Structure 1
Amino acid sequence: MKKLFLLVSFILAATTFAAQAEEVDKDSIDNLKQKLQLTTNDTLKGPVYTQIATEYLKFDKQPNRNLKAYYQTEAIHYTLLALHNYSYYEDTTGIRSSFDDLAKVYIAQRKFSEAKWFTLQSNKISRQIKDVPNVINSLVKLSAIKMELKENKMAMRDLNEALKLSIDNKIPNLEAVVQQNYAYLYNRLKDTEKADIAEKRATEIMQQVQQDADKPVIISFDNTPDKPKKPVTVKKKKIVVATQKTLKTSSIKKLASL
């Protein structure tokens, strides 16, 4: 009886928490929609659309399938509005962010062809503005999408490029992410030996990153006042006149220009 009571209490608490979370989301969405109505400057509407879409992108937190589907639909709707606004004002950062958000929804809906297209557009923009970390991130996302589409060779190619970029640009945390995705791919290919190696490498890199982050930074400040210097006593010396000798000039070598 006691166990049953505890179970019922847990279910009620979980339901209450979900309802409260849903109410908070609803309030913030309503506030953002009011903010949108008050925004008369078109150049400022894009970010507000994105803020509303961001709230709807929390579809994974919704308690049932219908509400989750509704949130996904609204996320796409407001992201497309943001995308249209960013495109009109040529805001490349906003455009790329919108592509990433759309890809996220389509991946959740298992619409991998659509997700692939939007991720490719995000990758293209990152390359144009030479944003290496986001190039790597988009390549990793592309590899994951291509795995779902059973395009394993293309997924491997994306990971190879992402690995090279992360190593060449010394971004170890992203290198670890790439290695983790190698492990996923090798497991799909039933190559457990290579999967284990990649998994181990990812763990080693992250441990090193953590160790480097935990190292104390020692800053020394020399605040000690200068000690007063003792007066220097100059001893009188006899002046010795030496006979002047002819000095030989040393040969000067010319430096070759690089």
Structure 2
Amino acid sequence: MGIKRRKFQGVLNILSFNRHFYVIGLSILALIIISWILFEWSDFLFWLIVIAFSYGLLMPLIVSAYVYDFSGYYDFNWLKKFNISDLNTSEIININAGFDETSFIIKESFPKSNLRVFDFYNAQKHTEPAIVRARNVSLVYPNTQQINTNKIPLEDKSIDVIFLLSAAHEIRSNREKVVFLKECRRICKPDGKVIMVEHLRDFSNFMAFSVGFTHFFSRSVWRNAFKTSGFSSFEETKFTLFMSIFNSKP
């Protein structure tokens, strides 16, 4: 099944899934403008607040358009540098958090390989409005299996590649991250790998998403989680200023 992304689908997703944020932000901005009209207060302060609010509302959309609509992320050409074999014997899994935009693309990129898809979404733990809305409109890859983060129902050392594409940050607890990554390491073949893509809690993403960057985790948090989980390597490749691709091996 071929999946063709619409123009500006990344921006439309951000607007749709985070509409509560934009409704609140625009409402506050409207109240500020009304109060400036009704009451006398500093023009400098007024324009400073308006610019700050406008930046906070518009910059995430601009960056999202760049990363998800114009950078080529969904072309998956960036995967070529990781030398992933497409063989009839290759076992690949893609694990998501209830919103899956990548499984059909992965299958097109590796048509010979056996792809299985798992979803660790937990309605009790993953309660943020954005992920709940995303799940409601997500495409579901055939035979996607629901799992818990503490148990992936696969044999030890049976998987060549595990994809964690903009999903693992939904695991908020550090302890749960480690347990989940230990499961990933358990099912990886000795020469297998985990390919994880994430925004980071760093300066670039702060400038892009302001306080929203706290939804992500820092490089050191991920490094410590992989190290604690027993992985032997943790290599980072930047994909734009705002996203990182991590390649880890058991």
Q: TM-score, normalised by structure 2?
A: 0.25
Higher fraction of helix: 1
Structure with greater Cα Rg: 1
